[in-house]
């Protein structure tokens, strides 16, 4: 990743080992925040659908279970619904339901009311290296059925395995799939349904990026988080900031300046480095990462990467120019304000979730003072 290990000065890499958990991963742990929403079926749910061998299990394994892409070559094909509960991060709470493509929606045993009813987003995976006509008709069926049951569902189409296509071919395939899918919907009189398309592959960061976008649509507080990040970067001479779910490397929010894929990859790499360091040399094994967990890495491009723990599962990763780091005190101070504000967002969200009897997905009433970084629950 272009890390210039030769140019570190003593204080330029300040990784407090022991801050990340040793056995890093999602486990059956307690929600750490006061009044955390109840666990279970009331969480926003993501459904992962697609034909057999389209890559659903691989996506799930690579994004949420740290399996390396090559290992997915030998995965057994999916033939039942797998409920994968990703519930520990306070913001990223969802389940992935891996549903084989050949499912018959009208079969008695397929409870579509239940499955689509509580679902926030439906991801449909299409293998771009294969003939996709069958997949498209499946997509059409799934979308119309799901929309009938739940109008709020967001439909996301992953045009997957694009690592095998040339750049021209990628664009052509995307255009073709988009055209056919929207035409079919229009023919069926359902052109009010919006589909979003993403080109993905498990062999690069595109799958993480696409998942980030999907997850962000399910976070009602996204605008608040983006606003907070904007305030932090403009007051700290930071160029770009991502709020990461550390385990999956999904960014649940970023400031409103455009995302450059390379910056995102750099930040992902930094998380890997810090986790590896902590796993090898960390002293704590209680599965918690603490308040002081932080790391600065200076790159040979006079850029500095800065990582700071926000809470147990979230980290702020920033990119700044070398001269922007002169005043670390200000960065540190602004970071603390940011962290407090995030906590307030959580508390407000949880209170609201309780008030709504655990119904997920409502808006959080939050207002942010224009000059400061604190959010006051209304
Ligand atoms: P599922 O039946 O939909 O769960 O499909 P699997 O996850 O079992 O994947 C089927 C095959 O596709 C496996 O051999 C994977 O290694 C392969 N695969 C998955 N994702 C990608 C990708 O992004 N690129 C390529 N080239 N192959 C992939």
Do 10 and 51 sit in the same domain of this protein? no
Winning range, highest mean pLDDT, from 6-20, 62-76, 221-235, 339-353 = 221-235
Nearest-CA residue for atom 26 of ligand 1: 161
Task: Tell me, yes or no, whether 200 and 275 share the same domain.
Answer: no
Cα torsion 36, 241, 214, 200: sign? negative
Residues of the chain with pLDDT > 90, as a percent, come to 29
The residue whose CA has the least distance to atom 20 of ligand 1 is: 55
Q: With respect to residue 34, please indicate whether it lies within any of the assigned structural domains.
A: no
Same domain, 281 and 303: yes
Query: 269 and 168 in one domain?
Result: no
Measured between alpha carbons, how far apart are the two ends of the chain, in Å? 44
Q: Are residues 102 and 244 in the same domain?
A: no
Residue, of 1 and 155, whose pLDDT is higher: 155
Q: Is the CB of 75 under 6 A from ligand 1?
A: yes
The answer to the question of residue 61 being in a domain is yes
CA-to-CA distance for 181 and 138, rounded, in angstroms?
10
Residues 360 and 242 in one domain: yes
pLDDT digits (tens, 9 = 90+) for 252-309: 899 999 998 889 999 999 988 888 887 777 766 544 456 677 888 988 888 999 999 8
Name the domain boundary from 165, 195, 217: 217
Expressed in angstroms and rounded, the spacing between residue 274 Cα and the centre of ligand 1 is 29
**Does any domain span residue 378?**
no
Task: Give the residue numbers spanning the domain of 274.
Answer: 5-22+220-372
Task: Give 83's pLDDT tier (boundaries 50, 70, 90).
Answer: low
8-state DSSP, 250: E
If pLDDT is split at 50, 70 and 90, which confidence band does 25 have?
very low
Q: Are residues 330 and 343 in the same domain?
A: yes
- Beta strand pairing status for 94-100 and 82-86? antiparallel
pLDDT the model gives residue 368: 29
**66 in the same domain as 197:** yes
Q: Is the CB of 68 under 6 A from ligand 1?
A: no
Domain closes at, from 187, 217, 247: 217
The whole-number pLDDT of residue 338 equals 93
Q: 249 lies in a domain? A: yes
Residue 72 Cβ contacting ligand 1 at under 6 Å: yes
Is residue 37, in this structure, part of any structural domain at all? no
- Both tokens assigned to 142: 């799934």
Query: Are 183 and 50 within one domain?
Result: yes
Ligand 1 midpoint to CA 200 (Å): 11
How many angstroms is it from 171 CA to the middle of ligand 1?
A: 21
Q: What CATH number should be reported for the domain holding residue 68?
A: 3.40.50.300
Token pair 């035409």 is at which residue? 183
**Least confident span in 29-38, 148-157, 185-194, 363-372:** 363-372
More confident residue, 106 or 128: 128
Q: Is residue 246 part of a domain?
A: yes
State the angle between helix axes of 261-281 and 206-217 in degrees (0 to 180), rounded to the nearest 10: 100
Q: Which of 123, 7, 3, 110 is nearest to 54 (CA)?
A: 123
Query: Between these two residues, 84 and 221, which has the higher pLDDT value?
Result: 221
**Which range in 89-103, 222-236, 278-292, 320-334 is most confidently predicted, on average pLDDT?**
222-236
Indicate if 100 and 243 belong to the same structural domain: no
User: Are 213 and 226 within one domain?
Assistant: no
The pTM (predicted TM-score) of the whole model is 0.78
Question: CATH number of the domain that 365 lies in?
Answer: 3.30.450.190
357 within ligand 1 shell (Cβ under 6 A): no
Alpha-carbon separation of residue 229 from 49, 91, 349 (angstroms) = 33, 16, 18
Q: Which of 118-122, 155-159, 320-324 has the highest mean pLDDT?
A: 155-159
DSSP 56-103: HHHHHHHHHS---GGGGGGPPPP-S-EEEEE--SSS--EEEEEEETT-
Q: What are the distances in angstroms from CA 320 to CA 175, 296, 301, 307?
A: 37, 10, 11, 11
Cβ-contact 356, 362 below 8 angstroms: yes
Which residue among 59, 67, 72 has the greatest number of ligand 1 atoms within 8 angstroms of its CB, and so is best to mutate? 72
H or E element at residue 337: helix 328-355
Which residue is closest in CA terms to ligand 1's atom 24?
161
**ipTM rounded to 2 decimals:** 0.98
Domain contains 74: yes
Our count of domains for the chain comes to 2
The percentage of residues in the chain with a pLDDT greater than 70, rounded to a whole number, is 70
Copy the structure tokens of residue 121: 């987003």
Q: Who's near 273: CB < 8 A, 6+ residues apart?
A: 1, 3, 295, 297
Residue 36 lies in a domain: no
Q: Is 58 in the pocket of ligand 1 (CB under 6 A)?
A: yes
Q: What integer pLDDT is reported at residue 241 of this predicted model?
A: 95
Pocket probe mutation, ligand 1, options 58, 69, 135, 163, max atoms within 8 Å of Cβ: 58
Q: Is the CB of 70 under 6 A from ligand 1?
A: no
Q: Does 56 contact ligand 1 (Cβ within 6 A)?
A: yes
Residue 19 has pLDDT above 60, yes or no: no
Please give the pLDDT value at position 26.
Answer: 40
How high is the pLDDT of residue 33? 40
Kindly give the pairing relationship between strand 119-127 and strand 45-50. Answer: parallel
Same structural domain for residues 322 and 227? yes
Give the end of a domain, one of 217, 235, 252.
Answer: 217
Atom of ligand 1 nearest to the CA of 58: 7
């Amino acid at each position: 990743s272009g890390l210039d290990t030769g140019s570190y000065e003593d204080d330029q890499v300040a990784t407090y080992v022991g801050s990340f958990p040793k056995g890093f991963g999602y486990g059956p742990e307690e929600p750490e925040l006061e009044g955390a929403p109840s666990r279970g079926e009331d969480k926003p749910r993501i459904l992962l659908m697609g034909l057999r061998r389209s890559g659903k299990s691989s996506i799930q394994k690579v994004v949420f279970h740290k399996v390396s892409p090559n290992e997915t070559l030998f995965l057994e094909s999916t033939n039942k619904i797998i409920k994968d509960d990703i519930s520990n991060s306070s913001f990223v709470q969802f389940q992935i339901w891996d549903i084989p493509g050949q499912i018959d929606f009208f079969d008695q045993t397929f409870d579509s009311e239940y499955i689509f009813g509580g679902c926030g987003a439906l991801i449909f995976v299409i293998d771009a290296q294969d003939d996709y006509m069958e997949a498209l008709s499946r997509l059409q069926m799934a979308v119309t059925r799901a929309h009938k049951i739940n109008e709020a569902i967001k439909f996301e189409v992953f045009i997957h395995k694009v690592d095998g296509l040339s750049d021209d071919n990628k664009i052509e395939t995307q255009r073709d799939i988009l055209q056919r899918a929207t035409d079919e919907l229009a023919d069926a009189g359902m052109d009010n349904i919006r589909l979003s398309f993403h080109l993905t592959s498990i062999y690069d960061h595109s799958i993480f990026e696409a998942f980030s976008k999907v997850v962000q649509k399910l976070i009602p507080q996204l605008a608040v988080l983006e606003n907070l990040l904007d305030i932090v970067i403009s007051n700290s001479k930071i160029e770009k900031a991502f709020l990461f779910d550390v385990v999956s490397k999904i960014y649940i929010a970023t400031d409103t300046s455009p995302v450059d894929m390379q910056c995102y990859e750099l930040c992902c790499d930094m998380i890997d480095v810090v986790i590896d360091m902590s796993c090898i040399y960390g002293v704590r094994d209680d599965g918690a990462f603490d308040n002081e967990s932080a790391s600065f890495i200076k790159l040979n491009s006079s850029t500095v990467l800065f990582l700071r723990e926000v809470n147990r599962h979230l980290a702020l990763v920033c990119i700044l120019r070398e001269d922007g780091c002169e005043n670390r005190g200000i960065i540190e101070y602004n970071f603390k304000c940011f962290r407090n504000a995030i906590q307030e967002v959580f508390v407000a969200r949880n209170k609201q979730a309780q008030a709504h009897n655990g119904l997920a997905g409502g808006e959080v009433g939050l207002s942010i003072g224009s000059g400061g970084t604190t959010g006051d629950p209304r």
